[in-house]
A = this chain, B = another copy of it.
Amino acid sequence: MKTNLPQGCFAMAVDMEIVCVGNELLIGKVVNTNASWIGKRATSLGVKVKRITVVADDVAEMAAAFREVLDRKPQFVISTGGLGPTFDDKTLEGIAKALNRRLTVNKEALEMVKEKYREIAKTRPILEDDMTPPRVKMATLPLGTHPILNPIGTAPGVKAIVDRTVLIVLPGVPHEMTAIFEASVVPLLKQSAGNVGFFELSIYADGIMESILAPLIDKVMHNNPLVYIKSHPKSKESSPHMELHLSTTGNPTDNPEKRLNRAALELAGLIEKTGGEVVKIKTDSPI
């Protein structure tokens, strides 16, 4: 990674967008922890998450959003939500519309769903292994897309290749989403991103205002062009507590942690010299 751009974590090669479907996210009933979980996990694998879009359980809204996202041609699009058996689970309909493809019952998906209900029927009353319309719905995919095994729940994930983009459609229930992600998405991301990793470190400083810190950050970023530094004020400017988050990406053989530590020590020194107090430096690697 040879570049003079001070982009830190944002100099990664493989890019991703996340689409989260669900009225509950828009009305603030549910906090979008799926997006932050995916963001963190993908970043840890060296993937650059460029945008998160949250849309309603509405086919036209979804289709428009997916079209826009795919038009930007990220390498990966991960969507969550809207794969279940109820009327409001419309994500596959939205994607079919965005891709201008028919929805059809996918044999492989149907077998996956059937198998789930066969298992369930062993412990619950009769009729529950019937493939009712709500159950067949979970196996009804846009033409040319492929089901992904859901190791926990009933609705399979879905994978589609659209031009150069890999589109992965996951359920919204967090433990189902993370289970499919770990089993079936992480290997794809690793394959694409290679051995690039994300490294981060935080300096907690008291008594130095963000407006005083600003030129110090500029200076350290200028001297350490591969490290990105972002200030997170934890209180108001008049009695400042700050978190300075330093991050970089790179191949572990290039010693990105050393690079990070050098920048952190330089910034910590400047903070102390300017009257601030470095309270804590938090990192997994020794400084």
Binding site for B on A (CB under 8 A): 9-10, 23-33, 35-41, 43, 49-58, 61, 65, 68, 84-88, 116, 119-120, 123-125, 128, 132-135, 138, 152-154, 173, 176, 198, 200, 209-215, 217-218, 221, 228-233, 236-238, 245, 247, 275
Shortest CB distance A59–B (Å): 12
> Is the CB–CB distance between B36 and A233 below 8 Å?
no
CB closest residue in chain B, given A52: B54
Of A27, A43, A84, most B-chain CB atoms within 10 Å: A27
A229 to B221, CA, bound (A): 50
Assuming A26-B52, A28-B49, A51-B61, what are 5 further A-B pairs, CB within 8 angstroms?
A25-B36, A85-B211, A86-B213, A123-B238, A124-B238
- In the bound complex, residues from chain B placing their C-beta under 8 Å from that of A10 are 23, 56, 58
- In the bound complex, residues from chain B placing their C-beta under 8 Å from that of A120 are 209, 237-238
> Is the CB–CB distance between B54 and A35 below 8 Å?
yes
Checking B32, B43, B214 against A85 with a beta-carbon cut-off of 8 angstroms, the contacting residue is B214
- In the bound complex, residues from chain B placing their C-beta under 8 Å from that of A119 are 238
Shortest CB distance A30–B (Å): 7
A210 to B88, CA, bound (A): 12
Shortest CB distance A227–B (Å): 13
Query: Which 4 residue pairs are nearest across A and B when measured between Cβ atoms?
Result: A28-B40, A28-B39, A134-B214, A52-B54
A209 to B140, CA, bound (A): 19
Asked, given contacts A119-B238, A134-B214, whether A245 binds B29 with beta carbons under 8 Å apart, the answer is: yes
A191 to B116, CA, bound (A): 51
